[in-house]
């Protein structure tokens, strides 16, 4: 598959100067994930972006020359563009122009697998494109053929706005039905007393790798942004028998388009019902602090800041562990690629479980083998001693607050 030749454009302003370079680097990675080849990067410093063309007339002329010299096929701006700005630059350069938001939407369209994921992407794309229909004749004809064009095809994006509004309403209705089904599944999991762990973190931090490490889920995990889009829940069993679920979620990113926060609300909501969150951080990233802050800020927006969190600093094999200074607590430093990494992670999770769960002691008659195996599966058993004088097992462990094993009445 041949890659599309892309020119990236970014303006460093007083507002974004602190993370401008990181943001441009991320735009390059996003372009690579969308199968684009960056042939040139045009940047400019100015107090604020130009109201008409983001970069101003002089730079637009430069952009035209570079586009010609590098035989570019697409221009990607690192700023959300208004319909008018997009139209003016497209007309001047004579090439399709998209912005960071459209690029992210496009990658989400590539990655969506489940019905809900596809519907959410389609909704976000339709809502984003609705105000941009005027003057998009040329770029709309590219739909289905290149970066920024995946998802709703040309037939779905007729210039009749009413048709698109009706389509948006239809997608929203479908999403409501799918969300209701997901909610029922979530309630079923919560009522089953199963302890639930959610994986969250910046995109490409290694969440899917950790899910695979713990559950042998064999999910798609690659060094790419947004490798996972649809939430995936897998069962994980401790060596002692305790069964819990682990859910992987979509990765967070700086300047996540608001359309996606809305459209993927239910996807991220999956993390809100968890008993423990594992915040996976790429310890080797030069932008680690910024990435941590991005995730914490989005957790705040999603009312998740009160939830118990264990920070998992991943990719320890790519740094000097002796000089590494963590910023979030409690934490564990691991390499998800190593067997020792798995041991360290399991130990740290167990420590958190013992803080979150309630200790119990139960006497189980030796002829109640079924009860014993249920205890091992539904609680974290730490001790199991056979008492000959009582012909029973003294079991000590930890269980969820609402667990039947904490009730005082006789369960046997």
Is 229 annotated to bind a ligand? Reply is yes
Is 203 annotated to bind a ligand? Reply is yes
Is 336 annotated to bind a ligand? Reply is yes
Is 341 annotated to bind a ligand? Reply is no
Is 45 annotated to bind a ligand? Reply is no
Is 331 annotated to bind a ligand? Reply is no
Is 190 annotated to bind a ligand? Reply is no
Is 205 annotated to bind a ligand? Reply is yes
Is 208 annotated to bind a ligand? Reply is yes
Is 41 annotated to bind a ligand? Reply is no
Is 228 annotated to bind a ligand? Reply is yes
Is 258 annotated to bind a ligand? Reply is no
Is 201 annotated to bind a ligand? Reply is yes
Is 287 annotated to bind a ligand? Reply is no
Is 221 annotated to bind a ligand? Reply is no
Is 135 annotated to bind a ligand? Reply is no
Is 286 annotated to bind a ligand? Reply is no
Is 207 annotated to bind a ligand? Reply is yes
Is 72 annotated to bind a ligand? Reply is no
Is 250 annotated to bind a ligand? Reply is yes
Secondary structure in 3-state letters for the chain: CCCEEEEEEEEECCCCCCCHHHHHHHHHHHHHHCCEEEEEEEEEECCCCECCCECCHHHHHHHHHHHHHCCCCEEEECCCCCHHHHHHHHHHHCCCEEEHHHHHHHHHHHHCCCHHHHHHHHHHHHHHHHHHCCCCHHHHCCCCCCCCCCCCCHHHHCCCHHHHHHHHHHHHHHHHHHHHHHHHHHHHHHHCCCEEEEEEEECCCCHHHHHHHHHCCCCCCCCCCCCCCCCEEEEEECCCCCEEEEEECCCECCCCCHHHHHHCHHHHHCCCCCCEEEEEEECCCCCHHHHHHHHHHHHHHCCCCCCCEEEEEECHHHCCCCCCCCCCCCEEECCCCCHHHHHHHHHHHHHHHHHHCEEEEEEEECCCHHHHHHHHHHCEEEEEEEEHHHCEEEEEEEECCCCHHHCCCCCC
Is 177 annotated to bind a ligand? Reply is no
Is 178 annotated to bind a ligand? Reply is no
In the annotated binding site, the residues are 201-208, 226-230, 248-251, 314-317, 335-337
In the annotated binding site for GTP, the residues are 201-208, 226-230, 248-251, 314-317, 335-337
In the annotated binding site for Mg(2+), the residues are 208, 228
């Amino acid at each position: 598959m041949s890659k599309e030749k892309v020119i990236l454009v970014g303006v460093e302003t007083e507002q974004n100067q602190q993370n401008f370079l990181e943001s441009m680097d991320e735009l390059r990675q996003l372009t690579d994930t969308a199968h684009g080849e960056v042939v040139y990067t045009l940047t400019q410093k100015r107090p604020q972006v130009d109201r008409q063309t983001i970069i101003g007339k002089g730079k637009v002329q430069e952009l035209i020359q570079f586009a010609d010299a590098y035989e570019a096929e697409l221009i990607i701006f690192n700023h959300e563009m208004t319909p008018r700005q997009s139209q003016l630059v497209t007309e001047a350069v004579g090439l399709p122009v998209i912005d960071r938001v459209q690029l992210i939407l496009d990658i989400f369209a590539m990655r969506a697998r489940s019905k809900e994921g596809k519907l959410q992407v389609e909704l976000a794309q339709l809502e984003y494109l609705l105000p941009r229909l005027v003057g998009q004749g040329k770029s709309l004809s590219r739909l289905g053929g290149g970066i920024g064009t995946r998802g709703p095809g040309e037939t779905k994006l007729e210039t009749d706005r009413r048709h698109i509004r009706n389509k948006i309403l239809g997608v929203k209705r479908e999403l409501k039905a799918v969300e209701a089904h997901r909610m029922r599944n979530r309630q079923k999991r919560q009522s089953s007393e199963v302890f639930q762990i959610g994986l969250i973190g910046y995109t490409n931090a290694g969440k899917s790798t950790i899910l695979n490490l713990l559950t042998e889920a064999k999910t798609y995990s690659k060094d790419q942004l947004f490798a996972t889009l649809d939430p995936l829940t897998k069962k994980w069993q401790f060596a002692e028998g305790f069964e819990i679920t682990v859910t992987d979620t979509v990765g967070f990113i700086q300047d996540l388009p608001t359309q996606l926060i809305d459209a993927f609300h239910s996807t991220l909501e999956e993390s809100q019902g968890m008993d423990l969150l594992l915040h996976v951080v790429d310890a080797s990233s030069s932008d680690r602090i910024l990435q941590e802050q991005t995730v914490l800020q989005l957790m705040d927006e999603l009312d998740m800041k009160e939830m118990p969190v264990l920070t998992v600093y991943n990719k320890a094999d790519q740094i000097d562990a002796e000089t590494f200074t963590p910023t979030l607590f409690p934490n564990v430093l691991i390499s998800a690629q190593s067997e020792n990494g798995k041991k360290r992670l399991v130990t740290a999770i167990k420590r958190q479980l013992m803080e979150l769960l309630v200790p119990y002691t139960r006497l189980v008659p030796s002829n109640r083998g079924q009860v014993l195996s249920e205890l091992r599966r539904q609680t974290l058993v730490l001790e199991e001693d056979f008492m000959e004088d009582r012909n029973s097992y003294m079991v000590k462990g930890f269980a969820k607050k609402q667990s039947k094993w904490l009730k005082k009445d006789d369960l046997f």
